[in-house]
Amino acid sequence: MTRQTAVWTVGEKKILSQLKTPKKIQEFLDALEYSAESVYRSPRSVLRDGKAHCFDGAVFAAAALRTIGYPPLIMDMQAVRDDDHVLAVFRKNGCWGSIAKSNFAGLRFREPIHRTLRELVLSYFESYYNLNREKTLRRFTQPQNLSAFDRYAWMTNDEAMDLIGEKLCVVKTQTLMTPAMIRGLHPVDQRAFDAGMLGANMSGIYDPNKE
């Protein structure tokens, strides 16, 4: 057994063995309940509980990507007056794609067609908004390889999730827009807003009016 597969139980391996492509991993995440709880779940706990929020989903996807030969990479997209959004990212044929668990319909899978990480992140921009219809995405981190957390057994240990979260909070970020661009942004129109909210768990939606 390889180091990354030896941690899984027989039942967990059976589930993971069905996730043979990034798209299959995304479909598995889509079928999970969206968690509105303020707790982190390791990939093992995601499998056990059948639920995840965006952080849990990205870390789970990174673990699943690892089992099919990709490095376990995650990155954080950061916003104003809104929640951050964490992605698992992968590279195919020299281009970037991503997997994500989201409460918003437009903030999930991206095909590996993006030449740069900035291109990938910008593909989320129009669908990244808050309840006031503000377009809120502003920055992103470079991908973090979760193999650096192997000594903490991150694929099976919930306590390691805090360490990963802390790392994402301190890594260098890249901005997407100038102040002039930000001042010129328009609100999301109602039709696009409604489409993105389809199926959302409202108890897990950030409310900027409660700041």
In tens, the pLDDT along 117-165 reads 999 999 999 999 999 999 999 999 999 999 999 999 999 999 999 999 9
Do the domain assignments include residue 4?
no
pLDDT in tens, 41-60: 999 999 999 999 999 999 99
Q: How many helices and strands, by DSSP H and E, does the chain display?
A: 8, 9
Helix (H) or strand (E) holding 158: none
In a domain, 27, yes or no: yes
Is-contact 137 124, C-beta < 8 A? yes
pLDDT band at 6 (very low <50, low <70, confident <90, very high): low
Distances (CA, A) of 144 to 6, 58, 118, 150, 197: 22, 12, 15, 13, 29
Task: State the total domains in the chain.
Answer: 1
* 64 in any annotated domain: yes
pLDDT of residue 101: 98
pTM of the model: 0.95
95 within some domain: yes
In a domain, 210, yes or no: no
Task: Please give the share of the chain, as a percent, with pLDDT higher than 90.
Answer: 95
Decide if 187 contacts 136 (C-beta within 8 A). Answer: no
Rounded Cα distance between 29 and 46, Å, is: 9
Which residue segment(s) compose the domain that 182 sits in?
10-196
Q: Which CATH number goes with the domain that contains 23?
A: 3.10.620
